[in-house]
Amino acid sequence: MFANAYQGRRVFVTGHTGFKGSWLAAWLVRLGATVGGYADNIPTNPSHFSAMRLNEHMEDMRGDIRDRQALVKAIHDFKPDMIFHLAAQALVRKSYASPAETFETNMTGALNVLEAVRTCSSLGVLVLITSDKCYRNDEWVWGYRETDSLGGADPYSASKACAEIIAHSYFRSFFREGPACATTRAGNVIGGGDWAEDRIVPDCARAWSENRPAVIRSPLATRPWQLVLEPLSGYLWLGARLSDNRPHSFNPRGEAYNFGPAADVNNTVAEVAEALARYWPGFRVEADKAAQAGPKECTLLKLCCDKALAHLDWKAALQFDETIRYTAEWYRHFYRGEGGKKTQNILDFTLGQIAAYENAAAQRDLAWAR
């Protein structure tokens, strides 16, 4: 996949210790890249990054994304060919409790990356990841396009909209001649190795491993659920295209792209929990009757991904049941054995799922071509 675009390349990933960042870093290692990661800490315990012992296969750097001087030094010292910026405060509910931290991390963090890029002579490509929640959400039934209005009622969503505005200002003001930059918008990813608070799959995994019922807040909330590898494949395809100087029908430089599942893939939180239960014997679910008193979260948000299909030949590879199977199998592998005993080959299992996904994506492309 990706036409060997990452073989031998130096790739810098911010937020590499987080859920999505650890999967991306592992995938880049598999693709033959020399990977450097920058994060202030390991955000959860357990941790996908730690379970894989990924620090043994890449350069693991510690620093706060809000510290511009430290970030610039780390990037200049590593001398990357490419940067994927994922570091973020990624939780809507936490953004209500810590709004200033959310804006500083998501808005100022993106600004600091862009400032580092502006002075990094080795860099050829920047892919800056925000969120589907950067759109002003009117909870309509059709998918948001990249040209729709940005906004956000909650601090998390607003901070991501701000990051998008800042990024595209830099693209137009400073990066017309290079490096090649773009932003991406995706959300509601699930998959193995996620232990963040207030997310449906980690809540279910923790409950299942402890033989207790999972408590879900908004059983009827609808999301376009996708496996974590789906948008990551989009980011990697985008990075590969940005690094390719051959003439194409469209140059993605300076653009924004949505990465999400097919338009008809929309399931409720309750349906996700019920689907996971088919793989986890004895698993039980209870509704949180007090959840309505908590901070507001959107009940419907979906993306139109036609632009990624038209410009990058990208589309999601998996159906909902396959997404659930990948996710459940990862957690079953992690917690396999009596008393929640953890297996020691998490990296091998993770890379195995990446290989299986690559094969599924290849089969999808073959079927689509026919």
Asked whether residue 291 carries a pLDDT value surpassing 60, the answer given is: no
pTM across the whole model: 0.94
Q: What is the DSSP string of 293-358?
A: GS----SB--B--HHHHHHH-------HHHHHHHHHHHHHHHT-SGGGPPPS-HHHHHHHHHHHHH
CA dist 211 and 207 (Å) reads 6
The per-residue pLDDT for range 39-64, each reduced to its tens digit, is 999 999 999 999 999 999 999 999 99
The per-residue pLDDT for range 96-117, each reduced to its tens digit, is 999 999 999 999 999 999 999 9
CA dist 255 and 238 (Å) reads 10
CA dist 110 and 104 (Å) reads 9
Asked whether residue 182 carries a pLDDT value surpassing 70, the answer given is: yes
Domain borders along the chain are: 2-244+252-369
Mean pLDDT of 78-98: 96
Per-residue confidence (pLDDT) for residue 224, from 0 to 100: 86
Query: For 17-31, 102-116, 294-308, 330-344, which range has the lowest pLDDT when averaged over its residues?
Result: 330-344
Per-residue confidence (pLDDT) for residue 344, from 0 to 100: 56
- Helices marked H in the chain: 19-30, 48-52, 68-78, 92-97, 99-103, 109-118, 155-174, 200-209, 229-242, 269-277, 306-312, 320-334, 346-369
Per-residue confidence (pLDDT) for residue 337, from 0 to 100: 43
Per-residue confidence (pLDDT) for residue 370, from 0 to 100: 40
Query: For 134-138, 260-264, 271-275, which range has the lowest pLDDT when averaged over its residues?
Result: 260-264
Asked whether residue 233 carries a pLDDT value surpassing 60, the answer given is: yes
Three-state DSSP class for 268? Answer: strand
Mean pLDDT of 252-269: 90
8 A C-beta contact, residue 290 and residue 301: no
Record: fold of 2-244+252-369: Rossmann fold (3.40.50)
The residues facing 13 across adjacent strands are: 37, 84
Chain CA centroid to CA 357, Å: 16
